[in-house]
Amino acid sequence: MVSMARDHIYISGLRTLARIGVLPHERESDQPLQIDLDLEVDLSEAGITDALDDTANYGAIAEAVVDVARLSEDLLLERLVARIAERVLQFPHVEVANVTLTKLRPPIPEDLDSTAVRITRTRVDMKVSGRHRAIIALGSNLGDRVAYLKFGLDRLRNVVAQSQVFETDPVGGPDDQGPYLNMVAVIDTDLDPYALMRRLLSIEAEAQRIRVVRWGPRTLDLDMLFYDDLHLTSEDLTVPHPRFAERRFVLEPLSEVAPEFCPDNWRNRLPAYGVYPRGPLADLTTVELPIN
């Protein structure tokens, strides 16, 4: 299993008029500008769902960028291009913005076609707000369990914390299941909860998970435990996860990365057997672990 490379959306030759410049005559009238964008975006989900919500809407981005430029009172191209990058990075799914801002036919005595500034900014660079914190439980009990967990963690992206791995006895489902490897990860995401749920399902599908028997064996299981402080109950999604407080194999790893979400007295309330710490995922090999 190989991590997918970052994808790109290009918006080229976007032209507008804006009043920008330091010289007095540059402040007297609008001047022609061209804006070119190279946006680094994860397009894997949009390639599966064919849904506009799962990609960066280039039409909306173009409109927003033109508004920033037209309303500009900036003196320098350097300032305006930074504000354009910041605005673009506020759009869902855009992780990196490469922005080229060109002033066409600059009003100076020399014979000059254009002058341009190009910058690259990330969400971290610009301290863009609007991200959400989600907590995801990962599990596997089919095939190369360690490899499937590593694949799931890699595909989640923007992981800010992860528990160690626990080997756990199967709970519910068929009697002939093998033991699970379980862990919990904390991620930052710009997806809404429904889009994030679709993303989790698509990652499971990439891992060849087959849904035949409820609580049956699986190559990779991804459950959304929490999404910010949201409480949501719908036909498609319930957050927090409705059974997380009943499962020691969830609470043990959860207590390592977000103990504030664990219910009071859970260690004394739930049976103490069936969950065995195995160490950090990075230290585990892809060889099947021994069963207690």
Q: Print the domain residue range for 88.
A: 7-126
48-97 pLDDT, tens per residue?
Answer: 888 888 899 999 999 999 988 988 878 899 989 998 999 999 888 898 99
222-280 pLDDT, tens per residue?
Answer: 999 999 999 999 888 999 998 898 899 999 999 999 999 999 999 899 887 889 999 99
Of the three residues 71, 98, 126, the one that is the final residue of a domain is: 126
Q: What is the pLDDT of residue 46?
A: 87
Strand ranges (E), the chain: 7-18, 31-41, 94-104, 114-122, 132-140, 159-162, 165-168, 180-189, 221-227, 232-233, 238-239, 275-279
What is the model's pTM? 0.59
Of the three residues 105, 126, 147, the one that is the final residue of a domain is: 126
Cα 6 to chain centroid, rounded = 12
CB 142 within 8 A of CB 218: yes
The residues annotated as belonging to the active site are 103
Within-domain flag for 150: yes
Of the three residues 106, 126, 146, the one that is the final residue of a domain is: 126
47 and 186 part of one domain: no
The whole-angstrom separation of Cα 284 and Cα 71 is: 55
68 and 148 part of one domain: no
